[in-house]
A and B are shown apart, each in its own frame.
Chain A
């Protein structure tokens, strides 16, 4: 390799400089080549994970929110929604068209604000229009045109709306919820400039009384739309208010388009001109004040693309932008809801050949860099990386600004299947059939399993000193491979997992072998051979190992093979076998007696044997005769 690089040098540089550069230049080249290798090493797994990410988006194999360490992605928790509140903190009411200098001394510095929750219910048969319920939630004095620099943050008036209000009400099925803000301002000026105010305001202002006039401005914001989608997320809002003529709910929905003097005003214009109400909105879980939305929200609604890290903390929402925001749904980024509102920097440090490759990248969010999955928590991110991207090794190192994750190539990654082994058993190479229904082998699955889980702790991702290699190997344990029958090398089907078929004590060939081996003896007669074979098979089957088992073994032998012994006419050989066992001091005479008695008993229970053995008994018959004679005497 060094030779090749030298040659390259020679081609590029003149001979004289080559001498000088020969020391420095190959080093540079080497570094470059090394870097190239480093990139190559990381390129392939990254590509694979990018591909898998896309595939998982199209045809998900599983949902991330079902994983225990991703439980926070599962927003559908009823317990939380019951105790949550909608907190509204009002910063102020701004009405810029005033002339602030004029009568500043007696100027009112607050307006009264009433907040109503408007419930639009489903139409019932008898109803002409949709029934609407208005629930007053409270009245507050809101500062008028406050100076943002002077006001103390704690002093703002705030309102709480219990989320119970958003639960389905008893009689009517509520279609949508919205907040109605009604600001009433008592003015004492007779002079009003209608030119600047919007047309509607003009109409409203014309209604005012002579001296003490009460101006009313209204605005309505949808909390949940018809599909029960949450429209108001945490954030700072500025609502443009409209002057009210008589009824605030003449229109069901407020439109955010403002028409000024017959021509459409760009949305932003209203904010500089019309009266606006500024407030902060938070969904609080309980008293502790964790921000949780009560109902399932879209996976990602925020777009903090343009915002700098500083801004992402509290994104400034303008009500007029809501529509454009909601259309711009992207899965890319989501506001970190559960992490404390503290900036977390994560540095990925890529290691190759055990030394750092300056590829350090700081990120402020907790998305997986490979599959852009928002993990929301550092623990979840690390767990996800470790489990889903096992081609790399991830080590967590605490960092003053957040966290450092050392990424290196997992040399032990063997590509072995780490999924459910039953899937390979069921249909080798056909794990995810898209070709309609596929017949599967019956498999018992555990539906509910509650294993003991260790408390999640970041320490599990720290680099371990001992047995590091082993830890990486057996991170996923269990039967994650296809097994084979040891005799036939055929794949083991899941229903065959339990039985250890090849491990019988007396395999077929061994049973045959013992028979042929005995048959080879020329000086053993056939009766002896037969009893010996029977006994050998009996011993092999039960695997007797102790002398003190022999009495029991003999009785079992008589029980199991008794009928066969009688049928084959081997009783005397059987007795010889017993006596021989007795000679070896393995059985007692009592056992011989009992075994023979059992044999007789079996003989009597076999009716057909009598006929078969009649020719046998015939030549014994004279003996019986003799006996009878003998008895008489």
Chain B
């Protein structure tokens, strides 16, 4: 069957080829006969592979949709290869490059020959072949000897020195090895680390100790732990609560609620007070710092036998009674730690605390509370590190205010500085505030009062925020979803059609871009859907590097004649060479169809690429690099 079909196809092809020959069309070959090694003729199908056009060169890069901050490179990681001819002709360039890094090149033998990791690995690898410790260490020595030999010329002196050295070296090394291996035992942690609260080794620790990692690693701007963008995270100790929400349940949580206990004990007039001091200086230094504590006193057991929470700051000592029959309940370390954490949040809402701990009743919690009372933080009062401004400002005043600020900015210079949240307790944002000196607005991440004069008020637009009527647009800021509550920047998180057109970068509402060889040079980027004038196309993402680092990298890029550097502000540069997104392939043009705009987006400067005119489907994107 197959052969007959084959024959049929062959015949047909022959007919076609005959016909095409008369019409001067290239004939088609299906089979070709080749002489095999054995001398017999074999027929194998011939598959014609079409010529594939080569694509432009592309150096590998990692995709990214948000900027990524990297530290300065203090050593030259690699000597860039730019072809043999450049290497030969332009040796001075490499020299200069190395000079930029103070002569430090990655992998130099002088520094860090063996680090701890390699050392441990080496010893454990060698230990497979040796029976006892001594052999192992001898091997170590040999290794060292070889290294020393490289350095010195006089063999005799070296050997004699080594013999004396070897003894003390062996001791040193074995000690070091033990140190390192012990560290690696499972469960063993450095002393400064709090044990896992869910683990078997959970210890009873203070609140700030339990929360230390969470507090220090959390980035309040990215909502992530150890984020990629902000190297310095503010700990929450100076963050204040806008609304005190530690409401205490007024209803007992169950039959055995501690509230009944309190009531009963009140009725029976069995009072046993624990007196504790309310002033700040009384608190032990260790317990301070979770909140800026000012006095707040709970008066327990009021006349109407319910809890009256007072912020009255009365200086009278508070009496806290012990329950009659304090039971000997065992509190595990984890539970105790958790209790201390929760009491700092829920204060005297023991029912809630018990619910969250899960393994203790509120009564037990209450009893524990009484026991621990001396070290427990109390609910903070209104704090006042910045004098509150008058409320109920008219919007128009705000608008003129921020316009004034904007004008002031425009008047001075084009220098834009990076924003860093200010933190100066009990000091208003005046000329000493870093935000003010950098001519930035205070953002919601600043530690200053929400009533701070330097804060940007946000807009109250009901339109699309794409004209200078919008104070945000005027100030080259995107609308802040926590400040601009009327324009729609804070709505419709899921859908793409937001009424506010001034929040595209933060929402990542980029257009679909397509990569293809450019009509101009190298690769180019093409738009899939047509866009209107001034519409957002994409954010120019990349690594955020310092200006110094950019200078160093720029020297190499200039040599390659290919640079993805983009000035972000006076402090930082975006480099899309190693990490970036597709818009990095947009080429330069003096008559471009896109423009770039550096905008302040929720405290970060980010680069938006926008359409300069209406762009049609499949057009290549260009912007002016200058």
Q: CB of B322 within 8 A of chain A?
A: no
Query: Contacts A539-B224, A626-B329 given: A582-B62 contact, CB under 8 Å?
Result: no
B329 touches A630 (CB 8 A): yes
The docked-state distance in angstroms from the alpha carbon of A633 to that of B332 is: 23
A528 touches B214 (CB 8 A): yes
A507 touches B516 (CB 8 A): no
Query: Contacts A525-B189, A570-B198 given: A505-B65 contact, CB under 8 Å?
Result: yes
The docked-state distance in angstroms from the alpha carbon of A435 to that of B28 is: 7
Chain A residues, CB < 8 A from B198? 527, 569-573
A479 touches B514 (CB 8 A): yes
B360 touches A623 (CB 8 A): yes
B298 to chain A, nearest CB (A): 17
Q: CB of A436 within 8 A of chain B?
A: yes
User: Which chain A residue lies CB-closest to B514?
Assistant: A483
Choose one: B226, B352, B480; the contact of A593 (CB below 8 Å).
B352
Q: CB of A585 within 8 A of chain B?
A: yes
Choose one: A58, A543, A596, A600; the contact of B23 (CB below 8 Å).
A58
B224 touches A540 (CB 8 A): yes
B516 touches A484 (CB 8 A): yes
User: Which chain B residue lies CB-closest to A593?
Assistant: B352
Chain B residues, CB < 8 A from A478? 616-618
Which of A29-37, A313-321, A486-494 forms part of the interface with chain B?
Answer: A486-494
Which of B50-58, B161-169, B423-431 forms part of the interface with chain A?
Answer: B50-58
The docked-state distance in angstroms from the alpha carbon of A434 to that of B211 is: 73
A575 touches B338 (CB 8 A): yes
A523 touches B213 (CB 8 A): yes
User: Which chain A residue lies CB-closest to B192?
Assistant: A523
Chain A residues, CB < 8 A from B514? 479, 483, 492, 497
User: Which chain B residue lies CB-closest to A549?
Assistant: B493
Q: CB of B177 within 8 A of chain A?
A: no
Chain A residues, CB < 8 A from B355? 593, 596
Chain B residues, CB < 8 A from A474? 616, 619
A436 touches B9 (CB 8 A): yes
User: Which chain B residue lies CB-closest to A575?
Assistant: B356
Q: CB of B512 within 8 A of chain A?
A: yes
B190 touches A525 (CB 8 A): no
Query: Contacts A58-B23, A577-B214, A588-B245 given: A550-B239 contact, CB under 8 Å?
Result: no
Chain A residues, CB < 8 A from B65? 503-505, 507
The docked-state distance in angstroms from the alpha carbon of A633 to that of B363 is: 12
User: Which chain B residue lies CB-closest to A545?
Assistant: B506
Q: CB of A517 within 8 A of chain B?
A: yes
Q: CB of A52 within 8 A of chain B?
A: no
Residues of chain B in range 141-173 having any CB-CB distance to chain A below 8 Å: none
Q: CB of A607 within 8 A of chain B?
A: no
Q: CB of B309 within 8 A of chain A?
A: no
Q: CB of B602 within 8 A of chain A?
A: yes
Contact with A along B323-356 (1 / 0, CB 8 A): 0010101101010001001101110000010011
B528 to chain A, nearest CB (A): 7
B345 to chain A, nearest CB (A): 5
Q: CB of A584 within 8 A of chain B?
A: yes
Candidate in A485, A525, A545, A552 with the most chain B CB atoms within 10 angstroms:
A545
Chain A residues, CB < 8 A from B242? 585
B151 to chain A, nearest CB (A): 33
A471 to chain B, nearest CB (A): 12
Which of B118-126, B215-223, B280-288, B467-475 forms part of the interface with chain A?
Answer: B215-223
Total A-B pairs, Cβ < 8 A = 249
User: Which chain B residue lies CB-closest to A581?
Assistant: B218
B359 touches A620 (CB 8 A): yes
Choose one: A428, A528, A585; the contact of B241 (CB below 8 Å).
A585
Q: CB of A62 within 8 A of chain B?
A: no
B616 touches A477 (CB 8 A): yes
A583 touches B50 (CB 8 A): no
Contact with A along B188-211 (1 / 0, CB 8 A): 011011111111000000000011
Query: Contacts A478-B618, A573-B197 given: A589-B345 contact, CB under 8 Å?
Result: yes
The docked-state distance in angstroms from the alpha carbon of A526 to that of B355 is: 25
A89 to chain B, nearest CB (A): 47
Q: CB of B361 within 8 A of chain A?
A: yes
Chain B residues, CB < 8 A from A620? 332, 359
Residues of chain B in range 540-595 having any CB-CB distance to chain A below 8 Å: 581-582, 585
Chain A residues, CB < 8 A from B345? 579, 582-583, 589, 592
Choose one: B16, B329, B507, B515; the contact of A485 (CB below 8 Å).
B515
B472 to chain A, nearest CB (A): 14
B364 touches A525 (CB 8 A): no
Q: CB of A514 within 8 A of chain B?
A: yes
Q: CB of A536 within 8 A of chain B?
A: yes
Query: Contacts A527-B197, A545-B507 given: A589-B346 contact, CB under 8 Å?
Result: yes
Query: Contacts A536-B225, A580-B214 given: A507-B356 contact, CB under 8 Å?
Result: no
The docked-state distance in angstroms from the alpha carbon of A436 to that of B10 is: 11
Choose one: A430, A523, A596; the contact of B50 (CB below 8 Å).
A430
Chain B residues, CB < 8 A from A593? 352, 355-356
Q: CB of B64 within 8 A of chain A?
A: yes
Query: Contacts A527-B196, A631-B256 given: A507-B64 contact, CB under 8 Å?
Result: yes
The docked-state distance in angstroms from the alpha carbon of A535 to that of B214 is: 11
The docked-state distance in angstroms from the alpha carbon of A509 to that of B60 is: 14
The docked-state distance in angstroms from the alpha carbon of A260 to that of B190 is: 130
Contact with B along A521-544 (1 / 0, CB 8 A): 111111110001001100110011
Query: Contacts A503-B582, A532-B217, A584-B239 given: A523-B193 contact, CB under 8 Å?
Result: yes
The docked-state distance in angstroms from the alpha carbon of A545 to that of B190 is: 35
Q: CB of A586 within 8 A of chain B?
A: yes
Q: CB of A41 within 8 A of chain B?
A: no
B196 touches A503 (CB 8 A): no
B62 touches A509 (CB 8 A): yes
Query: Contacts A478-B617, A576-B210 given: A546-B482 contact, CB under 8 Å?
Result: yes
Q: CB of B230 within 8 A of chain A?
A: no
User: Which chain A residue lies CB-closest to B194?
Assistant: A525
Q: CB of A414 within 8 A of chain B?
A: yes
Chain B residues, CB < 8 A from A630? 256, 327, 329, 361, 363-364
A513 to chain B, nearest CB (A): 8
User: Which chain B residue lies CB-closest to A501?
Assistant: B63
Chain B residues, CB < 8 A from A524? 193, 213, 217
Chain A residues, CB < 8 A from B522? none
Contact with A along B361-394 (1 / 0, CB 8 A): 1011000000000000000000000000000000
B63 touches A579 (CB 8 A): no
A502 touches B220 (CB 8 A): no
The docked-state distance in angstroms from the alpha carbon of A492 to that of B246 is: 57
The docked-state distance in angstroms from the alpha carbon of A569 to that of B228 is: 28
Choose one: A489, A507, A536, A623; the contact of B359 (CB below 8 Å).
A623
User: Which chain B residue lies CB-closest to A532?
Assistant: B225
Chain A residues, CB < 8 A from B512? 500, 503
Given contacts A548-B490, A576-B211, A600-B358, could you give 13 more A-B pairs where the C-beta distance is less than 8 Å? A436-B12, A474-B616, A479-B528, A483-B514, A483-B526, A503-B510, A504-B63, A523-B192, A525-B195, A545-B481, A579-B342, A623-B360, A630-B363
- Can you list 12 A-B pairs with a CB-CB distance of less than 8 A? A436-B9, A505-B65, A507-B62, A510-B228, A525-B195, A543-B507, A544-B223, A548-B481, A548-B482, A572-B198, A596-B355, A630-B361
**B-to-A contact residues, CB < 8 Å:** 9, 12-13, 16, 20, 23, 25, 28, 30, 50-52, 55, 58, 62-66, 189-190, 192-199, 210-211, 213-215, 217-218, 220, 222-226, 228, 236, 239-242, 245-246, 255-256, 290, 325, 327, 329-330, 332, 334, 338, 341-342, 344-346, 352, 355-356, 358-361, 363-364, 444, 480-482, 490, 493, 506-508, 510, 512-517, 519, 526, 528, 581-582, 585, 602, 616-619
**A-to-B contact residues, CB < 8 Å:** 58-59, 414, 416, 428-430, 434-436, 474, 477-487, 489, 492, 497, 500, 502-505, 507, 509-510, 513-514, 517-518, 521-528, 532, 535-536, 539-540, 543-550, 552-553, 569-573, 575-577, 579-586, 588-590, 592-593, 596, 600, 619-620, 622-624, 626-627, 629-631, 633
* Leading 3 A-B pairs by shortest Cβ distance: A429-B50, A580-B214, A546-B481
